[in-house]
Amino acid sequence: MSLLPILRYPDSRLKTMASPVVNIDEKIKRLVKDMAETMYEAPGIGLAATQVNVHKQVIVIDVSEARDQLLVLINPELVECDGSQIGEEGCLSVPGIYDKVERAEHVVVRYLDLDGVTRTIDAHGLLAVCLQHEMDHLKGKVFVDHLSILKQTRIKAKLAKQARITA
């Protein structure tokens, strides 16, 4: 097991469109284990492969209080969405920045599990938000892209300043 480095916004590699997984082989299984370890250690409630610079359609999520309900989604597809909710979002690739984003309240997502079995998740609330946030990553989108250009500019300036301080 190993912790993976997480790309930081506005790294252009976060804009990469992820490709579908063709074979759930040992390499993918290792990636999933390392992503889960990285998510739990961060700590975060989700992580998309894009964030660790692997441009394959792989997501790990755990929104449980006890941190014992790991979800692994391969090749996720949105099959239904309705309603709306506005919640404060953060992102491991945009550290220290939180802002409100409007999302669907309810989503149905079809995906493959680690055994290659097709499954569906019917999600509301935070899990629905997290699924949309992670599926955005696989399309090269981060939550900041949902904010105004003015906010995007301010966030880039704040992160650049933070990077200078920590350097």
What are the residue numbers of the active site? Answer: 134
Torsion angle of C-alpha atoms 138, 143, 146, 149, degrees rounded to 10: -120
Torsion angle of C-alpha atoms 97, 101, 106, 112, degrees rounded to 10: -50
Which of the choices ligand GNR, Ni ion, none does residue 31 contact, using the CB cut-off of 5 to 8 A by kind? none
Which of the choices ligand GNR, Ni ion, none does residue 47 contact, using the CB cut-off of 5 to 8 A by kind? ligand GNR
Assess 103 for contact with ligand GNR (CB under 6 A).
no
Assess 45 for contact with ligand GNR (CB under 6 A).
yes
Nearest to 51 by CA among 116, 97, 95: 95
Assess 140 for contact with ligand GNR (CB under 6 A).
no
Cβ neighbours of 13 (radius 10 Å): 11
Chain residue whose CB lies nearest ligand GNR: 44
Assess 137 for contact with ligand GNR (CB under 6 A).
yes
**DSSP, residue by residue, 50-67:** GGGT--BSEEEE---TTS
Assess 123 for contact with ligand GNR (CB under 6 A).
no
DSSP state of 82: E
Which of the choices ligand GNR, Ni ion, none does residue 76 contact, using the CB cut-off of 5 to 8 A by kind? none
| Site residues for Ni ion per CB under 5 A | 91
Chain residue whose CB lies nearest Ni ion: 91
CA 154 to chain centre: 22
List residues near ligand GNR by CB under 6 A: 44-48, 51, 89-93, 129-130, 133-134, 137
